[in-house]
Amino acid sequence: MIGYYIVIGLIAIVSFAVSARLKSKFEHYSKVNLRNGMSGAEIAEKMLSDNGIYDVRVISTPGRLTDHYNPADKTVNLSEAVYNQRNAAAAAVAAHEVGHAVQHATAYQMLKLRSQLVPVVSFSSGMAPWIIIIGLGMGAAAHIGIGYYVAVAGLILMAVTTLFTLVTLPVEYDASNRALAWLKNKNMLAPNEYEGAEDSLKWAARTYLVAAIGAIATLLYFALQVFGGSRER
């Protein structure tokens, strides 16, 4: 298990570094006020309108970095700062979340797949490691009895969680690309404002990349623990 904790520790360090950089970027671009004077909420509403989407509401949600699109009730949820502020960071986040609404409206396949995986992932993400550990404790590494099958079941659940993080990558990158294309084509931002929005979304995307790499590394580690022993037998 020492190897597992080393892997998790390294991933945690990288994740912390990327998250800290993202926070720094957003704080910096939050000081770049928009020439057009539009708030994040107004940016979101205009992008929805320009894409012919009239059944999605833009609402304010408590907290920081709590922005998300909810396909179940068709709401673009913007954190209080993004909803009210009029800067490059707010514009980037607001347009990105509307990008998800556009994906939903156009039946973007990867978004549909991610939504289908959510119910399974809500269970598997927390339980899979423990199921594998229990299986290993029952003799899975030596390919002994039911423990092996318990561990394999845990690996399957972990693989679903890993798949979810991989599917999330194109979903998030596509939403950012849609947001940036709209901001640029509609001349919503001045050049320096656009650069700030682009940089903000670039660092936001990297957090998902780190999460995907971490999920793959964790899955491979546990797979070696389960199957490695059986090969040595």
Q: Which residues are part of the catalytic machinery?
A: 97
Is the C-alpha dihedral spanning 150, 156, 159, 160 positive or negative?
A: negative
Q: How far apart are CA 233 and CA 210, in angstroms?
A: 35
List the beta bridge partners of residue 87.
33
Q: How far apart are CA 69 and CA 172, in angstroms?
A: 11
Half-sphere exposure (CA, 13 Å, Cβ side) for 7?
15
The helix/strand/coil state of 70 is strand
The helix/strand/coil state of 59 is strand
Record the tokens describing residue 91, joined without a space: 């514009």
Phi-psi map region of 69: left, alpha, beta (phi>0 left; psi -120 to 50 alpha): beta
Check if the beta carbon of residue 87 is closer than 8 Å to that of residue 39. Answer: no
DSSP H helices in 51-87: 80-84
Q: How far apart are CA 135 and CA 140, in angstroms?
A: 5
Q: How far apart are CA 100 and CA 23, in angstroms?
A: 22
